């Protein structure tokens, strides 16, 4: 672990100084989330950095309201159509 010093408004300090490991994990996960969204790292790499399993990170993000699947409803519908078509062809 490394210790990082940073400047922030006084009003934010109480939120940046968690009282337990679970809260610290959430903060660290949120720091990594933009890099996942930008495709710079994967969920697996973020989980590795945090020292947890990928499924645990996905579950954590889900509890925080952050979706693992980054697709629009139209994209999901198209994917479902493809799966249905492939299932019919394979039968």
Instruction: Output the pTM of the full model.
Output: 0.72
Residue 56 in this model has a pLDDT that exceeds 80: yes
* Total residues belonging to the chain: 91
How does pLDDT run across 60-89, given as a tens digit for each residue?
A: 999 999 988 877 788 888 889 999 999 888
**In angstroms, rounded to a whole number, what is the distance separating the alpha carbons of residues 53 and 76?**
26
8 A C-beta contact, residue 62 and residue 26: no
End-to-end C-alpha distance for the chain, whole angstroms: 53
Q: What's the pLDDT at 53?
A: 96
Q: By three-state DSSP, how is residue 20 classified?
A: coil
Q: By three-state DSSP, how is residue 79 classified?
A: helix
**What are the residue ranges spanned by the domains of the chain?**
20-90
């Amino acid at each position: 672990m490394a210790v990082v010093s940073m400047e922030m408004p006084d009003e934010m300090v109480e939120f940046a100084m968690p009282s337990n490991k679970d809260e610290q994990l959430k903060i660290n996960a949120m720091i990594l989330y933009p890099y996942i969204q930008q495709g710079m790292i994967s969920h697996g790499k973020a989980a590795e950095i945090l020292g947890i399993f990928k499924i645990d990170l996905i579950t954590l993000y889900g509890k925080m309201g952050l979706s693992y699947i980054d697709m629009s409803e139209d994209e999901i519908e198209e994917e479902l159509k493809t799966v249905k078509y492939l299932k019919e062809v394979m039968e």
